[in-house]
Amino acid sequence: MRLVDIKDLTVSFPQTEGLVQAVRGLTLHVAPGESLGIVGESGSGKSVTCMAVLRLLREPPARIAAERLELAGVDMRKADRRQLASMRGSVAAMIFQDPMTAFDPVFTIGHQIAETIRAHRAVSKSEAMAEAEDLLARVRIKAPKAVLQSYPHQLSGGMLQRAMIAMALSSRPQILFADEPTTALDVTIQAQILQLIKEIQAEYGMGLIMVTHDLGVVAETVDRVVVMYGGRVMEEGPVQEIFDAAAHPYTQALLGSIPGRVAGRQRLTEIKGASPNPAHPPSGCPFHPRCPVAEPRCAAEVPALAPFAPARAAACWRVA
């Protein structure tokens, strides 16, 4: 069984300059307990993909189309409001980029975790509070009682992100969507939070989708990685194999731009050009205008995501 099963997902937003396609025919899946990283530049459609699975985008203006969009076997395309509310937070939980703005400023952390628990299970307020305290202790918060009674503005970003994770765990979700969970944090805190997410994932045996623009984050936390560009999947495979032998020119370019990966004093290689304008995407492969090895065919036809080795796939005419 697949926990997350997306086939041919398209997400678009009508704008004055035309229909902006944030995601253009994306296919991916996550097995129970598996961790998947979605890597890409900003605007590649990775966050929108997560929001679309949980149907968190405002529709309209957003338009979602997919051949398949399933979460734990439920067809999310057809889920109604009540069904969505019962799945969010319990089957699938999500943590966000900026913990400072993710909590309601006028309620305590304890209140906000307890209300999440009570939204999904019939427990009393005091039981929910006691549970919230346990959860805070599980995310390695040293003084859970004090944090429980704190308002968001009284806590640091790292502390709030821990509380956010505790809140996400409150109904033992089968999958956790983590949308750039460390981008807004201090570098020293980032490693702690990633370590925590990894430990918690193993402890709870849940699936994980880690959205990030940082290949370093992916290397530390996930088993498998999907590389996105221009709203499409460029390459997919086990994280170590991708790092060792990237097949797609875009992935290769991305890896070439990480400092410290190549031994010796070598100049980093940047990817020339700019990300495609989602209102007017290039024809054919979205990467071809910036690709060092593009052929005439790349501008004409879109290469499909095709398997070329066990557990690996790439969308490139040169790889097939």
Partner 1 sequence: MIRYILGRLASIALTFFVVSVIVFLMMHAVPGGPFDGNDMPVSAEVKAKLNANLGLDKPLYVQYLNYMGGVLRLDFGVPFQSPGETVLQLLGRAWPPSLILGGAGVLIGAPLGILLGMAAALNRNSWIDYLASAFATLGLTIPVFVTSMMLILVFAVWLNWLPASGWGKPHSWVLPILAYATIPMATYARYTRSAMLDVLNKPFVTVLRAKGLPERRIIFQHVLRNASLAMVTVFLPMFIGTATGSIFVEAMFRVPGLGAYFVSSIEQRDYPLEMALILIVTLMFCFAYLISDIAYALLNPRIRFGGGEK
Which stretches of the chain bind partner 1, using CB under 8 A?
A: 54, 56, 81-82, 84-90, 93-94, 96, 98, 100-108, 115-116, 119-120, 151, 153-154, 164, 167-168, 171
Stated as kind and residue range, the H or E segment containing 255 is helix 249-256
Least distance to partner 1, CB of residue 98, Å:
7
Least distance to partner 1, CB of residue 76, Å:
14
Chain centre distance of CA 254: 18
Least distance to partner 1, CB of residue 214, Å:
20
Give the C-alpha distances (Å, rounded to integers) separating 213 from 39, 44, 226. Answer: 5, 10, 11
Between 162 and 232, CB nearer to partner 1: 162
Between 151 and 204, CB nearer to partner 1: 151
The structure tokens listed for 36 are 């998947």
CA angle 270/44/84 to nearest 5° reads: 155
Give the up-direction half-sphere exposure of residue 306: CA atoms within 13 A in the CB hemisphere: 9
Least distance to partner 1, CB of residue 89, Å:
3
Least distance to partner 1, CB of residue 282, Å:
31
Between 185 and 285, CB nearer to partner 1: 185
The structure tokens listed for 94 are 């999500």
The structure tokens listed for 174 are 């089968």
Peptide bond into 61 cis (omega under 30): yes
